[in-house]
Amino acid sequence: MAVLALGGVVLIAASGGLGKVAAAIGSSFDGFVGDISRTPAPSPSDIVAADAPELEPPDEPYTNEASIDLIGTVPASVVGATGTRIRIYVAIGKGSSGVVKEVPVGATASFTVPGVQLSSGANAFTATIVGPTNLESEPSAAVTYILDKSKPKVTIRSPKANATINGRTVRISGQTQARSTLSVKNLSTNATVTGEADGKGAFGVTISIGTGTNKIQVTATDPAGNSNVATVSVQHGTGKLVAKVRASFYQMRLSRLPEPVTLSVTVTDPDGRALPGANVTFTLAVPGVPAVASSVLSTGADGRVSFSTTIPKGASVGQCSVAAIVQTAALGDTTARTVINLVH
Q: Range with the lowest mean pLDDT among 88-97, 211-220, 234-243?
A: 234-243
How far apart (Å, rounded) are the C-alpha atoms in residues 133 and 43? 11
Q: How many residues does the chain have?
A: 344
Residue of 145, 85, 74 lying closest to 110 (CA atoms):
74
Q: What is the mean pLDDT of residues 27-32?
A: 41
CATH says 242-343 is which class? mainly beta
Residue of 266, 274, 339 lying closest to 306 (CA atoms):
266
How far apart (Å, rounded) are the C-alpha atoms in residues 303 and 61? 48
CB 2 within 8 A of CB 13: yes
Considering the entire predicted model, what is its pTM? 0.58
Q: How many CB atoms lie within 10 A of CB 54?
A: 16
Residues 6 or more apart whose CB falls under 8 angstroms from that of 307 comprise 262, 263, 264, 282, 294, 297
Q: How many CB atoms lie within 10 A of CB 321?
A: 15
Whether the predicted pLDDT of 46 surpasses 60: no
CB 74 within 8 A of CB 68: no
Question: In the 8-state DSSP scheme, what is residue 75?
Answer: -
List the domain boundaries for the chain. 47-147, 155-236, 242-343
Residue 33 parent element (H or E): helix 17-37
Edge-to-edge strands, sheet with 181-186: 163-165, 227-236, 213-221, 181-186, 192-196
Q: What percent of the chain has pLDDT above 90?
A: 78
Residue of 52, 67, 258, 197 lying closest to 137 (CA atoms):
52
How far apart (Å, rounded) are the C-alpha atoms in residues 242 and 268? 5
Whether the predicted pLDDT of 293 surpasses 90: yes
Q: What is the mean pLDDT of residues 305-329?
A: 97
Query: Which residues partner with 343 through β-bridges?
Result: 253
Q: What pLDDT does residue 43 have?
A: 42
* CATH code, residues 47-147: 2.60.40.10
Task: Specify whether the backbone of 34 is left (phi greater than 0), alpha (psi in -120 to 50) or beta.
Answer: alpha
How far apart (Å, rounded) are the C-alpha atoms in residues 176 and 220? 7
CB 48 within 8 A of CB 77: no
On average, the pLDDT of the chain sits at 87
How far apart (Å, rounded) are the C-alpha atoms in residues 202 and 292? 50
Question: Which amino acid does the sequence have at 325?
Answer: I
Whether the predicted pLDDT of 45 surpasses 80: no
Q: What pLDDT does residue 3 have?
A: 35
Q: Tens digits of per-residue pLDDT, 122-157? A: 999 999 999 999 999 999 999 999 999 999 999 999
Domain at 155-236: CATH architecture: Sandwich (2.60)
How far apart (Å, rounded) are the C-alpha atoms in residues 98 and 118? 13
CB 166 within 8 A of CB 242: yes
CB 68 within 8 A of CB 118: yes
Q: How far is CA 1 from the centre of its chain?
A: 98
What Rg do the C-alpha atoms of the chain give, in angstroms? 45
- Per CATH, 47-147 and 242-343 having the same topology is answered yes
Higher-pLDDT residue of 58, 32? 58
